[in-house]
Amino acid sequence: MDQLAATRPAPGTDNDDTFVTGPRFAAVLDGCTDPGRDSGCEHDVPWLVAHLSGHLAAGLATEGAPLTDVLAQAIERTGADHPDCDLSNPDSPSSTVTIVREDDDRLEYLVLADSPLLLEHSDGRISHLVDDQVDHLPSYTFDAVAHWRNRPGGFWVASTDPDAAYHGVTGALPRDEVRRALLVTDGVSRLVDRYDWSWDHLVTVATTSGPAALIDAVHSQDALVGAPEGPWPDPMPGKRFDDATAVLCHIADTHLPLTTRYIRTRVGNRSSRSRCAHGCSGVCGHAPRT
């Protein structure tokens, strides 16, 4: 698959989002923690998402295991990176995780927590997949959210318990039935939740103008909230601005020979040099990139 990606923090803040991509996979992560509460961890949220995404990318690049197992191992290895922290604390930093991975026949996906996945099918339909367990809690006080985090009957996120990997939305589709996959954090999906966009329009803008255009659009709308003469004159619940990340994956033409399908490997907002589908970088004996 070929990917285009963009990530940007909320104005004046560090970025708690990140993304990773490789020859046949992509993932977005949206880190979070409860402000002002003792997390039991000496590290901040960007540290968590950096380590978790790194372990996740390594597993996706080298293993053919189920996505749930790959994520569980990434959570376990991230925990091993900070053994002196209190990993039993329910307020420990955590992250959403959304993954797609292709092979010759299938496109697999995993959605843990509320970073949506949009799939454009070969007939033009758009499917919207999200893990909405957090929308059904009995209470949303800080104590209630901490109580129900990573607990049956509550909601699940990637934090310190590898078992969380088995509580998301998972599935697979025949590869030739999907044209594109768009992975976004909720800093982008608020275009639909808050600003009256449709999921179809979200995919159209990402496809025609690129993922960065989605971030431009959402931050522009965020800036208008509360403006008396603007389209959103009343304050809205939650953050006025949020970190925003989007990864658009074009599913490669399965009829092309393997040596003519190319990818770009990315971590965060940095990209490596192009590689051929055999994983070679720089000079190799395969067909040049077109």
Task: Examine residue 226 and state whether it is found in any structural domain, yes or no.
Answer: no
pLDDT, greater one: 188 or 282: 188
Task: Examine residue 145 and state whether it is found in any structural domain, yes or no.
Answer: yes
Q: How many domains does the chain have?
A: 1
Cα 155 to Cα 78: distance, rounded to the nearest angstrom: 20
Task: Examine residue 179 and state whether it is found in any structural domain, yes or no.
Answer: yes
Angle in degrees, 0-180, between the axes of helices 199-209 and 186-193, rounded to the nearest 10: 130
pLDDT of residue 160: 94
Question: Within the chain, how many helices (H) and strands (E) appear?
Answer: 6, 14
pLDDT, greater one: 116 or 254: 116
pLDDT, greater one: 170 or 39: 170
Task: Examine residue 190 and state whether it is found in any structural domain, yes or no.
Answer: no
- Our CA dihedral for 42, 46, 51, 56, rounded to 10 degrees, sits at 140
Task: Examine residue 56 and state whether it is found in any structural domain, yes or no.
Answer: yes
Q: Name the phi and psi angles at 57, rounded to 5.
A: -60, -40
Q: Is the pLDDT of residue 213 over 70?
A: yes
Q: In the predicted model, what is the mean pLDDT of residues 57-67?
A: 91
pLDDT of residue 34: 67
Lowest mean pLDDT among 5-14, 53-62, 244-253: 244-253
Task: Examine residue 29 and state whether it is found in any structural domain, yes or no.
Answer: yes
Task: Examine residue 104 and state whether it is found in any structural domain, yes or no.
Answer: yes
DSSP string, 196-253: ---HHHHHHHHHHH-HHHHHHHHHHHHHHTT-TTSS--S--SS-SS--EEEEEEEPP-
**Whole-structure pTM value:** 0.86
Name the percent of the chain lying above pLDDT 70: 86
Any idea what the CATH number is for the domain that residue 180 is in? 3.60.40.10
Task: Examine residue 95 and state whether it is found in any structural domain, yes or no.
Answer: yes
pLDDT of residue 262: 31
pLDDT tens digits, one per residue of 221-250: 999 998 888 888 787 888 889 999 999 999
Which range of residues forms the domain containing residue 90? 2-184+243-276
pLDDT tens digits, one per residue of 256-268: 433 333 333 344 5
